[in-house]
Chain A
Amino acid sequence: MSGPKYPGFDTLALHAGQSPDPATGSRAVPIYQTTSYVFRDTEHAASLFNMERAGHVYSRISNPTVAVLEERVAALEGGVGAIAAASGQAALHLAVATLMGAGDHVVASGSLYGGSHNLLGYTLKRFGIETTFINPRDLDGWKKAIRPNTRLLFGETLGNPGLDVLDVPAVAAIAHDAKVPLLVDATFTTPYLMNHFGLGADLLYHSATKFLGGHGVAIGGVLVDSGRFDWEASGKFATLTAPYEGFHGMDFEEESGTRAFLLRARREGLRDFGACMAPMTAFQILQGIETLHVRMPRHVENTRAAVAFLARHSQVEKVIYPELDSHPDHALCKRLLPKGAGAVFSFEIKGGRPAGRKFIESLRVFSHLANVGDAKSLVIHPATTTHYRMSDADLAKSGITAGTVRLSIGLESSTDLMEDLDRALKAAAKA
C-alpha cells in the first residue's frame, strides 16, 4: 500500500465536487435548472425533509449544480463544506445570522469593503447586533474590543483601502482565547494565494463575483467552514448547541459535530432568508474556478509589473502594495502570502482630483467601474466616484486622498497595460 497523497490544488480546481454525470455521462457540470426534485414515494419525501437521507428537496436549500461549486470551493480551502449564496454580502449575512442574534456583538477590522461596513455598522445594528470597528494592525485593539457578548472576530485578508494584511494567526489566537471564531473575507486572496484555514481562520467567505469567477458575468458568494471550531466547548453559541424549535428541537452540534454551522446555515439561513445561488450562476463561477490556478499567477505577475512601473513614475506620489518595502505589512505579507499579495492595489496620483479625473478618462485598456477581480483590468478613482461628496478631510478618515486611484490588474498583455497607464499619467500631468 503506497503512502497517502491528496490531489493537487490544480486538479481539485478542475474536478472536485463532480464525477461525470451518472445519468448522461456529461463531462461538464450539468446545469440542473430546476426548482424541485421528484420524491420516490411519501416515505422518501418525509425522510429527506427530516434529514434521514441525503439529497435535494428544493433549490433554495440545495441544488446539484450549486452543490458542485460548494464542494469544490470547500475542497480548495480545505473546509468541511460550503454554502453558496446570492452574493458575497449574502454570505457574510448568512455567517453572522447563523452565529448570533440581537444583543450579540462583533469585533471587526475597520479596513473593510464599504458594503460589509454598511451591513455591520448600520443595518445589523438595527437588528440588535453591534459591531466595534478597530484598526486591524492593532492586536491589542482586537483584544480590548472583545466583550462578554462578542460572538465573532471578522476581517478581510487584504483590507480596503490600504491593503492591510490581516495577521490571521495572531487574530485567530485572540479569537480562540475568547472562545469565538475568526471569520475572514478571503475574496482578495482566494484559496490560491492564502491557506486561510491552515493559518487559523475558522470560517471564510468569498465574493465569488471576483477572482473565483474572474469573468465578471455572475454575482455570487461562498461561505466555507473549517469544521475546526468546537461550538460545544465554547459554550457561547446557542444557535448551534441548543435545541432549535424551528427544526423539531434539533441540536445542530449534537446532530452533526463538525458540520453544525453549515447545517444550521443551510437549514435555517437559506430556508428563511432565502439568499441562495442560482444554478446557472454556480455553473458560470465553476467555469472560472477551473482556471483559477492558471489565472492567479498571471494576475500577480502583471500586478508586480504595474506596481514597479508606477513606483518609479514621476507622476505618482505613492504606491500602496504589501509587497513593497514601504508598506507597513511588508514582512507579514512575505510570511502569509508567499505566492503574492493579489492583484488589487492603489496609488496616489500627483495633482489631486483633477489629475485623478483626467487619468481615468484617458485610459483605454482599463475599464472604469466598481468591481475588482475581473480578468480585465479595472480602475476607479474614489474621490470622483464612490466618495465624490466627501471633503479631503473626510477622505482622509476613510484612509484615502483626493489622488487615490484603485487598480485591479487583469490578464492583458503587461506591455499594453504599462502603455495605457503611462499615456493616462502623462495626460493627467496636464490636468
Chain B
Amino acid sequence: MELAVDRRRAFAYTASHAFEPQKPTLVFVHGAGLDHSLFGLQSRYFGYHGRNVLALDLPGHGRSEGPPLPTIAAMADWVVSVLDAQHIAQASIVGHSMGALVALEAANRRPERVERIACIGVAYPMKVSEAFLEAARKNEQTAFDMETIWGHAPQVPFGGNPNPGMWMYGDALARLARLAPGVLYTDLKACDDYLSDFAGVKCPVLFILGKRDVMTPPRAATALAQKLHAQVEVVELSGHSLMAEAPDDTLDALVEFFSEIRTDRPGR
C-alpha cells in the first residue's frame, strides 16, 4: 500500500489485505540497505493469520521515497508517523538488524505506542567496522560484498537455500545493486552511532539470534537481553539473515511470541 508519511511517498506491504481496525497490527522494519520483501514469508503468514501487516520500506529503500533517514531515532519517529497515518494507536514491531534497533528505539521513545517487539539479528552496540563504513561511504562494491558475505552464515554459499532454487548471495547482491548511492552508508552509520539507555522500553521483548551470525553474534546481544529481560531464541544453523536462512524457525519463534496477543479483541 502507498502511504503519505511526512509528506513523502512511502510503501508498506500488507499481504494483499485491507486494513481492519479491529485486528492487532504487526509492523516489520528491515535492516540496512534492504526492504520489506526480506520478511516475505513471515509477514505474509501474519497477514493471513488475523493481523494487519505493515512491512515497511524505510525512506530511500525499496518503493519508499528518499532520502534515507540519518539516525535510528529518526527512523523510530518515522515508524510512529506511519502508525499515525494509519490511525493505529498501538502496534507490535518486528525488526531485523538495523530494524531491530528501530523497534527498540520506538519502544523506548513511545512506549505507549508499542505493544511488543521482536528483534531479529540484533546486537548492542551495533558497531560497524571502519573498513565497512569507509567502503560504504565510497559506494564501493566491497561494501556490498561485506554486507552479503558477513550477512549470512559461513555455510550459506554451500547451500541449500530453504527457498527452493534461490541463491542467497545473489539475492542480497541484486538488492544492494538497486540501492541509491549513499543509502547503505547512511544506514550503517546510523547503526554505528546509535546509543540508548533503553529506559523507556517496558514491553515484552523477543530476541531471535543466529548462532552462526558473524555480523551481530549472539554474544553481542547478551547484555541488552539481560537488561530488557528479553526472551532469547538462538537458531543453531543460521547467520544474520535469519528470515531467509531459517525462515521456519524464525516464523515459529514469532508465532509463539505474538500468540499472546489475541486476534479477536476489540480495536484500539
Contacts and interface: CB of A to CB of B under 8 A. Distances in A.
A405 to B, nearest CB: 39
Given A255-B13, A262-B165, A16 B171 contact: no
A19 B158 contact: yes
B247 A19 contact: no
B149 interface: yes
B23 interface: no
Contact of A15 (B146, B149, B158, B174): B158
Contact of B175 (A6, A66, A257): A257
Interface string A90-108: 0000000000000000000
Contacts of B170: 74-75, 78-81, 226-227
- The 9 A-B pairs with the shortest beta carbon distances in the complex, nearest first, are A227-B174, A70-B165, A81-B166, A62-B164, A52-B45, A74-B167, A17-B159, A4-B149, A257-B37
A50 interface: yes
Nearest to A75: B167
Contact of A83 (B148, B160, B165): B165
B238 to A, nearest CB: 13
Contacts of A75: 157, 159, 167, 169-170
A197 B46 CA distance: 36
A256 B44 CA distance: 11
Given A18-B159, A70-B164, A255-B40, A54 B169 contact: no
A243 interface: yes
Given A248-B16, A254-B13, A71 B159 contact: yes
Given A4-B150, A6-B149, A255-B37, A243 B166 contact: no
Q: In the complex, which of the residues B162, B163, B169 has the most CB atoms of chain A within 10 Å of its own CB atom?
A: B163
Contacts of B259: none
Interface of A: 1, 3-7, 12, 15-19, 47, 50-56, 62-64, 66-68, 70-72, 74-75, 78-84, 226-228, 230, 232, 243, 248-251, 254-259, 262, 266
Given A71-B167, A75-B157, A266-B165, A6 B145 contact: yes
B169 A51 contact: no
Interface string B40-79: 1110110010000000000000110000000000000000
